[in-house]
């Protein structure tokens, strides 16, 4: 008996017209087809880097929907193999599985696909023995699992094939294979092959740790055929999960008209000015807070079908949260089309920070968007007394209207994100040339009851220098005795900082800067608007009274505000290309704040760096050293069930150290006889030139590496190559945290002077780690710079000329290399 043929995979006409919701519901609820249960042997499914063997078992296909078979449930013996393509992914996989390759036997698998996978398996199918029993055992499980990919399949089946964009490579065919396995060693995990995802191959699992659900991404990388260029050259913006298809459209302008009532209910219309890039798609996803109910989406004057909240399910829910809406166009989008899309929505999106302060949750989901991307904003807010509302952009008007106010803000140039705060504030102002600087301090005296650690997901917390697990809660800030005076001091401090930053990085791009008080330990920066922790509003003596650690006190009083201000350049003018570059902008913003601090309080900079080093060396409750959370380039993936604070610790701690290392390599390389201490000319012009070069654009790690290589002095050319690959391989894409030791030092005195020889040992380091180490000579009380040595692998022999009076050598006495404490 031969199996019945698989139904035709031709696209049914109904998919690209009419409502999509019935298709979506069908895809979500599909069960197994009792007529299509088979024995299966020696079947293999290959998708670029992914290899799956269904060695021996039983398989049931899902019921056909509009003639398509989209899934199958397998039980028996199988195996999956996925090889990580580079060091970063190997390290990440190793953290979660302890192995360098994913090679796992499984006993069951649920497969979901949008292509002819079912047909591909036909040659391996034989009649079944126990079909009815198999269906009875597995059908309800299969129906539950069907929810996971329903929206993704809906995108495929409602779309026309993507159309080519002139001048761009031909579009990649839309293919999806999601396999959820019950593995022998690793339990339940997912393998995705999705050509509509920025990183087409992903492997991970959902886990919970201390009541928090994490989606641990074991691996995520571009498929083999797209890896001809280095990983970091593959550019994409927007949310990094599947289905976001950033190449589909760009949003040029948001016009938002919002009203907030006494009960803090926000109702708004948002009109998005859109250019379609790659056509073909009919269903487009937007982010919008789950607390906002979408009432209508209009396109060319007519309401569109949309799906809110139920759009994202299963593993996607734990990966991204349920803040997604799907908008259904009447027909597949045409490339080059230009139109407005108007959203009407309302809900309670403002969090109560206590005492008359309100703010929107993180990630700007108070308006529909497709992730962080440069756009113009025109914002109108109606709000009641006695509140003040402060928004991104230049306020062009504020008028009374009835019992409240109506204000209008316009972005002065494209910005990556828009936000606003609402509260009862006392305003203090100062003027810096043409920039008005306002500091808003909270008027309320009761608000400090809220826990300072209830951060509500602010997007740019600085590292609080406590190891997780040993966190001492920061005591709640006390009411400001004199909010007006405090605000004035802060506004003036901000003006000084802005002056220094403008000299360092180029002109401040906006005509206003507003600082508003955030009554907890964290801060968040938007273009021209900074939501600053209450602690940074305190005077030094008030901070001291809180008995914070030395590093905490430095961060709140000297680092946090300059860090957020530095984001006005690195973050708001130069944006990141993907999650792999989050560290770059955070590391730059944080290190720039330390460069400013170094001018007046160099000891505080050392304290901060030393604290970061100690935290990286400390261990989590499960025994892992925190530095092992992964390389900085893993971005948001660093926060996992193993390292709940991994993102903060690595991005800020290690990211700042990497900038410190680069800065000192360049500085030491500038030392000459006439300029024995060297200077920061090269590093500072690099910082400034990057702003000019990437103004209004996204920067990749490869762009950054190239920019540093362009100015790389000859003495930093490892093995005579004008390249920083050694630094990016081991330090940026790796987790290097070596111990350095000096031994066997000998001094020979010749006719031309003295020469020191010795060996630098690198311990606890990858065998191929390269580190550029400064060597100093001790002369009496002084330490004299002798030169820098490339230490490679475990032992490196060196010889350096030196003054005859040197009586001892030391490695890196000023702590410019990230080594173990
Ligand atoms: Zn930041």
Helix, strand, coil percentages (3-state) for the chain, rounded to 5, are 30, 35, 35
- The partner residues of 60 in beta bridges, in order of sequence, read 37, 73
What pLDDT shows up at residue 13? 38
Q: What is the DSSP string of 326-394?
A: EEE-SSPPPTT-EEEEEEEEEE--EEEEETTEEEEPGGGTTS-BSSS--BEEEEEEEEETT-EEEESSE
Q: Do 691 and 585 form a contact (C-beta atoms < 8 A)?
A: no
Using the mean position of ligand 1's atoms as its centre, give its distance from the Cα of residue 459 in Å.
Answer: 8
Whole-number Å distance, alpha carbon 273 to ligand 1 midpoint, is 29
Q: What is the 562 CA–ligand 1 centroid distance (Å)?
A: 10
Rounded CA separation 756/789 (Å): 12
CB 804 within 8 A of CB 754: yes
Alpha-carbon dihedral angle through residues 732, 736, 741, 742, given to the nearest 10 degrees? -40
CB 723 within 8 A of CB 711: no
Tell whether the model's pLDDT for residue 315 goes beyond 70.
Answer: no
What backbone torsions phi and psi does residue 231 show, to the nearest 5 degrees? -50, -45
How far CA 635 is from CA of 223, 632, 647, in Å, comes to 20, 6, 6
Residue 773, pLDDT score: 98
Question: 613 or 198: which carries more pLDDT confidence?
Answer: 613
- Centre of ligand 1 to C-alpha 583, Å, is 9
Q: CA–CA separation, 689 vs 505, rounded Å?
A: 8
Query: Smallest Cα–Cα separation from 273: which of 337, 318, 354, 189?
Result: 337
536 C-alpha to ligand 1 centroid (Å): 15
Angle at 564 between CA 369 and CA 528, to 5 degrees: 60
Residue 280 confidence (pLDDT): 86
Does the pLDDT value for residue 752 go beyond 60?
A: yes
- Measure 527 CA to ligand 1 centroid, in angstroms: 12
Q: Are strands 50-62 and 32-47 parallel, antiparallel or unpaired?
A: antiparallel
459 pLDDT above the threshold of 50? no
| Sequence-separated (6 or more) residues with CB below 8 Å from residue 321 | 290
Q: How far is the CA of 365 from the centre of ligand 1 (A)?
A: 19
* Ligand 1 centroid from CA 125, angstroms: 55
Average pLDDT, integer, range 98-119:
97
673 pLDDT above the threshold of 50: yes
Average pLDDT over residues 433-460: 57
Classify 566 as helix, strand or coil. helix
589 CA distance to ligand 1 middle (Å): 6
Whole-number pLDDT of residue 235: 36
Higher-pLDDT residue of 42 and 2 is 42
Question: How big is the CA angle at 801 (ends 798 and 805), to the nearest 5 degrees?
Answer: 120
CA of 593 to the centre of ligand 1 (A): 11
Q: Please give the distance, rounded to the nearest whole angstrom, from the Cα atom of residue 633 to the centre of ligand 1.
A: 15
* Whole-number Cα distances in Å, 219 to 101, 192, 812: 10, 10, 36
783: phi then psi, degrees, rounded to nearest 5: -120, 125
pLDDT for the residue numbered 7: 44
CA of 520 to the centre of ligand 1 (A): 16
Residue 243 in tokens: 């289905």
Residue 415's nearest CA partner among 698, 692, 696 is 696
For residue 564, report the distance from its CA to the centre of ligand 1, in Å: 6
Distance 533 CA to ligand 1 centre (A): 13
pLDDT for position 616: 95
Quote the CA–CA distance of 414 and 528 in Å, as a whole number: 12
Å from CA of 178 to ligand 1 middle: 35
Give the number of other Cβ atoms within 10 Å of residue 470's Cβ.
8
Structure tokens at 500: 């220094």
What separation in Å is there between the alpha carbon of 570 and the centre of ligand 1?
Answer: 9
Phi, psi (deg, nearest 5) at residue 499: -65, -45
- Looking from the CA of 530 toward its CB, the CA atoms found within 13 Å total 31
Compute the distance from residue 358 Cα to the ligand 1 centre, in Å.
21
* Helix, coil or strand: residue 158: helix
Query: Treating both helix axes as pointing N-terminal to C-terminal, what angle do 681-693 and 483-505 enclose, rounded to 10 degrees?
Result: 90
More confident of the two residues 738 and 575: 738
CB atoms inside a 10 Å sphere around CB 540: 11
Question: What does the pLDDT look like over 340-354, one tens digit per residue?
Answer: 999 999 998 887 776
Q: What is the mean pLDDT of residues 630-635?
A: 94
Consecutive H or E run containing 607: helix 602-617
Give the pLDDT score at 385. 87
Question: 571 CA distance to ligand 1 centroid (A)?
Answer: 8
- Give me ligand 1 centre to Cα 417, in Å: 14
State the distance from the centre of ligand 1 to the C-alpha of 763, rounded, in angstroms.
Answer: 32
* pTM flag (> 0.75): yes
Strands 529-533 and 770-779, by their bridges, are unpaired
Provide the token pair at 587: 């590391």
pLDDT in tens, 77-88: 999 999 999 988
Give me the DSSP letters along 92-124: HHHHHHS-SSEEEEEEEEEEEESSSHHHHHGGG
Separation of 567 CA from ligand 1 center, angstroms?
7
pLDDT above 80 for 26? yes
Q: What is the pLDDT of residue 792?
A: 96
Tell me the C-alpha distance between 100 and 625, whole Å: 19
Give 146-184 pLDDT, tens digit per residue.
988 998 999 899 988 777 667 767 778 899 999 999 999
Cα(552) to centroid(ligand 1), Å:
16
Strand, helix or coil for residue 666: helix
The answer to whether 245 and 174 are in contact (CB under 8 A) is: no
For residue 116 the two structure tokens come to: 């002819």
Phi-psi region of 18 (alpha: psi -120 to 50; beta: other; left: phi over 0): left
HSE-CB for 118 with a 13 A CA cutoff:
27
Query: What is the spatial distance between Cα 114 and Cα 176, in angstroms, rounded to a whole number?
Result: 6
On the question of pLDDT at 209 being above 80, the answer is: no
Span 652-681, average pLDDT: 96
How close is the Cα of 606 to the center of ligand 1, in Å? 20
- By the 10 Å C-beta count (0-12 exposed, 13-18 middle, 19+ buried), 88 is classed as buried
Cβ pair 365, 359 in contact under 8 A = no
Q: How close is the Cα of 594 to the center of ligand 1, in Å?
A: 13
- d(CA 713, ligand 1 centre) in Å: 30
3-state secondary structure of 216: strand
- For all residues of the chain together, what is the average pLDDT? 87
Question: How far apart (Å, rounded) are the C-alpha atoms in residues 221 and 212?
Answer: 26
Residue 62 pLDDT more than 70?
yes
Determine phi and psi for 368, rounding to 5 degrees. Answer: -65, 130
Ligand 1 centroid, distance to 587 Cα (angstroms): 8
Q: Ligand 1 mean position to 532 CA, how many Å?
A: 12
**Does the structure show a pLDDT above 80 at 737?**
yes
Angle made by CA atoms 47, 49, 52, in degrees to the nearest 5: 60
Ligand 1 mean position to 460 CA, how many Å? 4
Copy the structure tokens of residue 270: 């948002």
pLDDT at 15 over 70: no
Rounded to the nearest angstrom, the distance between the alpha carbon of 733 and the centre of ligand 1 is 20
Q: How far is the CA of 176 from the centre of ligand 1 (A)?
A: 35
Q: What count of Cα atoms within 13 Å lies in the side-chain half-sphere of residue 453?
A: 9
Q: What is residue 146's predicted lDDT score, i.e. its pLDDT?
A: 94
Determine the straight-line distance between the first and last CA of the chain, rounded to whole angstroms. Answer: 71
């Amino acid at each position: 008996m031969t199996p019945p043929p698989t139904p035709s995979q031709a696209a049914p006409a109904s998919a690209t017209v009419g409502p999509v919701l019935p298709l979506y519901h069908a895809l979500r609820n599909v069960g197994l087809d009792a007529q299509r249960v088979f024995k299966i042997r020696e079947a293999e499914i290959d998708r670029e880097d992914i290899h799956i063997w269904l060695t021996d078992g039983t398989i049931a296909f899902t019921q056909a929907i509009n003639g398509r078979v989209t899934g199958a449930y397998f039980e028996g013996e199988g195996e999956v193999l996925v090889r990580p393509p580079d060091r970063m992914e190997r390290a990440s996989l190793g953290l979660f599985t302890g192995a360098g390759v994913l090679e796992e036997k499984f006993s069951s698998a649920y497969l979901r696909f949008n292509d002819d996978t079912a047909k591909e398996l036909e040659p391996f199918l034989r009649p079944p023995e126990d079909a009815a029993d198999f269906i009875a055992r597995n059908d309800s499980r299969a129906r539950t699992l069907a929810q996971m990919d329903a929206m993704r399949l809906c995108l495929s089946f409602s779309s026309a094939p993507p159309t080519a964009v002139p001048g761009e490579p031909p579009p990649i065919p839309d293919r999806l294979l999601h396999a959820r396995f019950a593995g022998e060693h690793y339990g339940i995990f997912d393998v995705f092959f999705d050509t509509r995802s920025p990183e087409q191959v992903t492997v991970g699992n959902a886990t919970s740790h201390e009541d928090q659900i994490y989606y641990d991404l074991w691996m995520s990388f571009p498929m083999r055929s797209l890896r001809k260029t280095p990983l970091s050259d593959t550019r994409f913006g927007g949310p990094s999960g599947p289905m976001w298809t950033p190449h589909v459209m760009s949003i040029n302008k948001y016009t938002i008209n919002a009203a907030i009532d006494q009960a803090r209910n926000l109702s708004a219309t948002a009109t998005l000015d859109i250019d379609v890039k790659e056509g073909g798609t009919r269903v487009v996803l937007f982010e919008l807070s789950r607390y906002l109910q979408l009432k209508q989406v209009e396109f060319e004057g007519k309401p569109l079908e949309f799906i809110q909240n139920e759009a994202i399910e299963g593993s996607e829910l734990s990966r991204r949260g349920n803040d997604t809406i799907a908008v259904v166009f009447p027909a597949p989008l045409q490339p080059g089309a230009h139109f407005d899309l108007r959203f009407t929505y309302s809900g309670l999106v403002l969090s109560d920070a206590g005492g008359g302060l309100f703010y929107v949750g993180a990630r700007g989901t108070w308006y529909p968007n497709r992730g962080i991307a440069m756009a113009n904003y025109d914002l109108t807010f109606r709000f009641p007394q006695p509140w003040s509302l402060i928004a991104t952009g230049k306020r062009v008007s504020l008028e009374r209207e009835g019992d409240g106010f109506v204000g209008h803000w316009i972005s002065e140039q494209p910005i990556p994100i828009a936000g606003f705060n609402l509260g009862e504030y006392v305003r203090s102002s100062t003027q810096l040339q043409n920039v008005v600087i306002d500091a808003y301090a909270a008027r309320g005296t009761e608000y400090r009851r809220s826990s300072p650690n209830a951060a509500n997901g602010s997007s740019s917390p600085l590292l609080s220098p406590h190891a997780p697990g040993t966190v001492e809660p920061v005591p709640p800030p006390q009411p400001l005795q004199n909010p007006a005076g405090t605000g004035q001091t802060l506004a003036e401090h901000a003006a000084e900082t802005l002056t220094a930053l403008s000299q360092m990085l180029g002109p401040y791009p906006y005509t206003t800067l507003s600082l508003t008080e955030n009554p907890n330990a964290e801060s968040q920066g938007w273009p021209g608007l900074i939501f600053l922790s209450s602690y940074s509003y305190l005077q030094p003596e008030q901070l001291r009274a809180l008995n914070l650690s030395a590093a905490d006190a430095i961060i709140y009083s000297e680092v946090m505000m300059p860090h957020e201000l530095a984001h006005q350049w690195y973050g708001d003018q130069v944006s990141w290309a993907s999650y792999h570059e989050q560290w770059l902008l955070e590391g730059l913003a944080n290190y720039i704040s330390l460069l400013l601090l170094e001018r007046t309080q160099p000891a505080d900079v050392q304290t901060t760096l030393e604290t970061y080093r100690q935290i990286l060396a400390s261990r989590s409750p499960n025994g892992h050293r925190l530095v092992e959370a992964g390389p900085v380039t893993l971005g948001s993936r660093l926060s996992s069930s193993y390292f709940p604070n991994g993102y903060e610790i690595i991005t800020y701690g290690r990211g700042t150290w990497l900038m410190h290392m680069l800065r000192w390599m360049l500085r030491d390389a500038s030392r000459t006889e006439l300029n024995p201490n060297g200077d920061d000319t090269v590093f500072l012009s690099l910082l400034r030139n990057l702003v000019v070069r990437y103004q209004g654009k996204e920067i990749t790690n490869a762009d950054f590496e190239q920019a540093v290589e362009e100015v790389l002095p000859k003495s930093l050319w490892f093995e005579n190559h004008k390249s920083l690959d050694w630094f990016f391989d081991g330090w940026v894409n790796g987790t290097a945290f070596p111990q350095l030791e000096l031994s066997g030092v000998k001094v020979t005195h010749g006719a031309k002077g003295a020469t020191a020889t010795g060996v630098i040992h690198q311990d606890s380091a990858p065998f191929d780690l390269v580190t550029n180490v400064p060597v100093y000579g001790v002369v009496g009380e002084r330490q004299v710079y002798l030169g820098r040595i490339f230490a490679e692998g475990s032992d490196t022999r060196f010889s350096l000329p030196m003054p005859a009076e040197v009586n001892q050598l030391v490695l890196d006495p000023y702590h410019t290399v990230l080594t173990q404490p």
